Chains A and B, each alone.
Chain A
C-alpha cells in the first residue's frame, strides 16, 4: 500500500520514444508588465547534466518556481517525465527533486529528522524513510552525520544534505538552483562531482542553474538564458557555434552582451 507512493523503479536511461526528464515548451511568464520569461523552451534528457547558464535576473528562479508549481505557467507547457505540471501535478511533483537556492533545512532538527520529514511529505512512511536515510546520506558521503543537528554542519555539508533530501523519494529529475552559492572552491567542486556521480549511477536528469561557468564540463548540455529568453542551447559545440566563440566564457559573454546591444539599438530606433 505504502509502496505505491514511492516512485516505481525508473526506466532504463533514454529508451527510444520515452519522454525526456524535463520538457519546457513555449513558456512565457510576466509579473505585471515585466516579462520574466519570454517563450522559453528547453529540454533536459534523462541521464544528462544540463547547465542552465544565466546572469543574475535572467529568469532562472522564475523558471524553477513554475516547474515546481509554486505558481502556474499561463502559456506553454512544462512536462516532467511526460507529465504536465498543471494537469497532473501529483505525478509530476512526485518525480521531481529540488534543491532551492535558499537554505531550506530546519537548523534545530537533526539531519535524519529533516530527511524523514521530507519523505513523509511524499507519502513515505516513517519506518521506510528511516531505513532510506542512511542510503541517501551515504550517497553524498554524510552517513556519519545522520544524528547531528543541521546547525552543526558546514555550508557545503548542508547543501549535500539538501541533495540527499531531494533524493529521498527517488526522483527522476533533479533541479538545483545555484546550489554552489556561498561555498568555497573545494566544496563547490566536490558538490558538482557528487551530482555527476549520481547521474552516472542513477541515470537521473539534472538541471543545474548557475552563473559560474567553471562548473560546466565538456560533455554537458548547456542552456543559456538571458533576460528571460533562451539565447542558445545544446551540446558544448553547438553553444560555441551559436556564440561564435572559442570557449564557453567567451560564448556566454557574446550571447548575453550581443543581445543587450541589439536591444539597446532597438530601443533607440
Chain B
C-alpha cells in the first residue's frame, strides 16, 4: 500500500496544453507585437485548453500590442500563422476592425509550406523573420496570412483584430504536437498624417507565439459518477475521492497531478468523474479515502469516528447471536462479516464467529485492548501498519453481495482510511445515459450496521443469522448526538449534570431502570483545563462496567452478559482542574450514546 501511495503521489500524468512565448524582458525594445490568445470554442469561450478533445472546434485571436501608442495608431497588420494540418483543419477567419475605420480585410493560405527560420534572429522577432526568413515546402504544414488595413483607429485597441478557428484532429499516436499552431512572421504599420507611414521594427510574437497541445480523445460519455454508499450516520463529506488510472506498468497512479490529487465528496457520496475520463484506452479507477490524504490528524479523526461505529450494542448483538447459534454456526451476512474480527494472524479474521471475536469486540469497547493492530510493533498504530488485513477497518464490496469471499478480496482500508481501487470501467458506447460506479462501504466491528448501508438497499445479505443486525425495518437514523442509527425500537431517557466541586469537576449521568442490558456514553472534555480522574458506576452486581480514555474522550458504560437488565444506574465521572476556571459551562460535553435491550436490540438512549 505504501508503494502504491508513493506512486500515486509522485506520478503526474496529465499532459496539459500550453501557449508559450518570449518573456517580457526579451521584448523591451519592441515597437509592436502580435500574440495568440485563447478564445475557447465557438460554443464555449470558457473551454479550458486541457479539456479540448478531438473533433472540437477551437478559436484563437491575434492580439496586437502598440508600444508606440502615444504617437502612432496601428492601421495595418499582417501576421502569418502556420499550423500542422495533421493536427488541425483550418475552418475560418473573422476580422474585428470596426466598419467606421473602413477596414479592408484579406487573407490567403499557403498549403504545403512550413516556416524556415532565419536563425540569425530570434524566432519571436517576427518582423526580422518577415524580412529574412522564408517558407519551405512541407506537405504537413499550411500557413495563413490574415491582413487588415484601416483608415483610422488603432488596431491594437481591439481585443484581437482577427480570429482563426480550427477543427482539432487526431494526428496519430506518434505525432509531435509541439508548436502545431504558431505565429511565424508579421508586419505592422502606422499611417502618419503627412501621408507617410511608420513600419514597426522590431515586432515580436508576444505574449504568446505558439500552441502545443495533445488533444483528448473524442469522448461523448456523460454523467460518469463514482458513488459511495454508507450508513446515514457517516458524514460523507469527510471522505475524499482519488481518481487513478493505470500506467504503462499496470500500476495505479494519480489522475490528478500535484498535491491536491483528490476530490471533495458531497453529502450524497456522489462525485462526477466525467471530465477526468479522457481516453478510451486507459484503465480508470477511484480510491475512497476517509479524511484528507496525508492529514496528520487523519488517524485521530478516524479513531473518533470509529468510537461511534463499534459500540456496546454491537458487542451485545454479537454475544447474543453467538449464544443463540453456537460457535462457528453462523454463516454469511455482512453482520457476521463485521463481527468476525479475530482468529487470523495479526488481528485478521478467520471466517468464523466464535468466542474470540466477541471477546475482542468487547475488549475494544471496554478499553482492554484495541482492534487496531500494531503490526510493526513500534508502539503505535499508523499508516505503516496498514499492510495487513488485520488492521483494515473500512471494508467495501462491489454492491452485489457482502459474502465473505467478496469481502475478503475487497477487504482494505485500515488506519490509512483508504479503500481498495474501484475500477471505473466506462462503457464508451453509451453516450446517452449516465454511468454510476457504486461502492458499498462498511466497517469492521459494525455488527448492527449503524454506520453501514441498509442491507435491503440492493445488497444481498442472504442467510443472515444475526437476526437484528440489518435495519430491516428501514427506520430512519437519528442525530449523532443521540448516538444511534439504524433499527431502534425503544427509547430510554437519562440525565446529565456537570458541577464544580472544589478542585474537581464532576459529571453525573443517570439512567433509570429499564430493560437495558448495555449502555455506553461518551463525553468529551477540555483537556487543556481538566484532567480525567475516574468513572464510578452503580449498575448492579451482575453488570460489568467499563471506562476508556482516548485523547480527550471518555467512553464508559455497562454491559450485562447474564441476560439481566441493568438497574437504575448512575455514572460519576470525575475530572481535576488543571487551571483556574470560571464556571464549568462547555468544559464537558456529551457526544454520543448507545444502548441495547435484553434482546440485543439497539435502543435509543437520550440524555436530557
- Chains A and B are bound partners: no
Residues of chain A at the chain B interface (Cβ within 8 Å): none
